[in-house]
């Protein structure tokens, strides 16, 4: 079993829909939780990061972390065709190494 | 554009060969990370260097090695290549290493696509 599990999709939604993306993890030492967006044939780019449990909002994006359930979510409001990409969750324990452990990614398609 | 550069963009080679991938971090960043992205394994951490020294090691094969030079650029060397080594190889950089209770955002380069035939 992988440390971080993520439904690969694809997830297809109409433009304007609310999108919910999720990851579960098994390592309780993870403290920092990130969401990356990766367009086809490009490098991942950081969307948001959250420390420990709680919610964080940035424009149309909201990240939630529930450490008791080892579950994180990313919500995208008013989804746009330009949001079509693969979304990767990532986590780190925040020690001196700072190495990231990624989920497998969910492919999202927003149709006009 | 993240500011991290990687060369070459594409590399096609044969089994048994050796290749070198190059990464230049963002200006001011001291840490360089290497990741491998394949269809079956996803994005996996390989190795990290901070200011020329190895700081963390992940699932990196013994056939793979890396180093960070005084000018902070890094090279990933892959030898005795196998078909299964075909993947996207990403370099990322961050300002520091990350200490206890600290997080350093990692900026990813565009990647090198390696095809082993």
Answer whether A102 sits within 8 Å of B2, measured CB to CB.
Answer: no
| B109 vs A: CB within 8 A | yes
Res B41: pLDDT: 86
Mean pLDDT of A28-54: 91
Q: How far apart are CA A91 and CA A94, in angstroms?
A: 9
Indicate if the pLDDT at residue A1 is higher than 90. Answer: no
Q: How far apart are CA B44 and CA A100, in angstroms?
A: 8
Looking at CA atoms only, how far is residue B96 from chain A in angstroms?
9
In sequence order, the β-bridge partners of residue A19 are A76
Res B99: pLDDT: 52
Residue of B nearest to A102 (CA): B43
Length of chain A: 112
**Mean pLDDT of the residues in chain B:** 93
pLDDT tens digits, B5-38? 999 999 999 999 999 999 999 999 999 999 999 9
pLDDT tens digits, B88-117? 999 999 987 755 556 788 999 999 999 999
Answer yes or no: are the C-beta atoms of B89 and B34 closer than 8 Å.
Answer: yes
Res A98: pLDDT: 78
Number of A:B CB contacts under 8 A? 75
Res A53: pLDDT: 83
Indicate if the pLDDT at residue B86 is higher than 60. Answer: yes
Contacts 24+ apart (CB under 8 A), A57-64: A61/A35, A63/A33, A63/A35
Res B110: pLDDT: 96
Answer whether A94 sits within 8 Å of B43, measured CB to CB.
Answer: no
Answer yes or no: are the C-beta atoms of B47 and B56 closer than 8 Å.
Answer: yes
- Among B42, B47, B54, B110, which would you mutate to test the A interface (most chain A Cβ atoms within 10 Å of its Cβ)? B42
Which three-class secondary structure string do you get for A40-95?
CCCCCEEEEEEECCEEEEECCEEEEEECCCCEEEEEECCCCHHHCEEEEEEEECCC
């Amino acid at each position: 079993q992988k440390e971080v599990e993520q439904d690969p999709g694809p997830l297809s939604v109409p433009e304007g829909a609310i999108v919910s993306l999720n990851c579960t993890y098994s390592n309780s030492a993870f403290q920092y939780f990130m969401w990356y967006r990766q367009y086809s044939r490009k490098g991942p780019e950081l969307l948001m990061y959250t420390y420990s449990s709680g919610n964080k909002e940035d424009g149309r994006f909201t990240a939630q972390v529930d450490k008791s359930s080892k579950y994180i979510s990313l919500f995208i409001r008013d989804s746009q065709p330009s949001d079509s990409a693969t979304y990767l969750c990532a986590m780190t324990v925040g020690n001196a190494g700072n190495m990231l452990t990624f989920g497998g990614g969910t492919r999202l398609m927003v149709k006009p | 554009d993240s500011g991290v550069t990687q060369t070459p963009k594409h590399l096609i080679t044969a089994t048994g060969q050796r290749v070198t991938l190059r990464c230049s971090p963002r200006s001011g960043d001291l840490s360089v990370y290497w990741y491998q992205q394949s269809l079956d394994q996803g994005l996996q951490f390989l190795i990290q260097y901070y200011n020329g020294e190895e700081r963390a090691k992940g699932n990196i094969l013994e056939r793979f090695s890396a180093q960070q030079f005084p000018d902070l650029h890094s090279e990933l060397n892959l030898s005795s290549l196998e078909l299964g080594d075909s993947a996207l190889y990403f370099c990322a950089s961050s300002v520091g290493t990350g200490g206890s209770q600290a997080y350093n955002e990692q900026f990813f380069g565009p990647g090198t696509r390696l095809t082993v035939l």
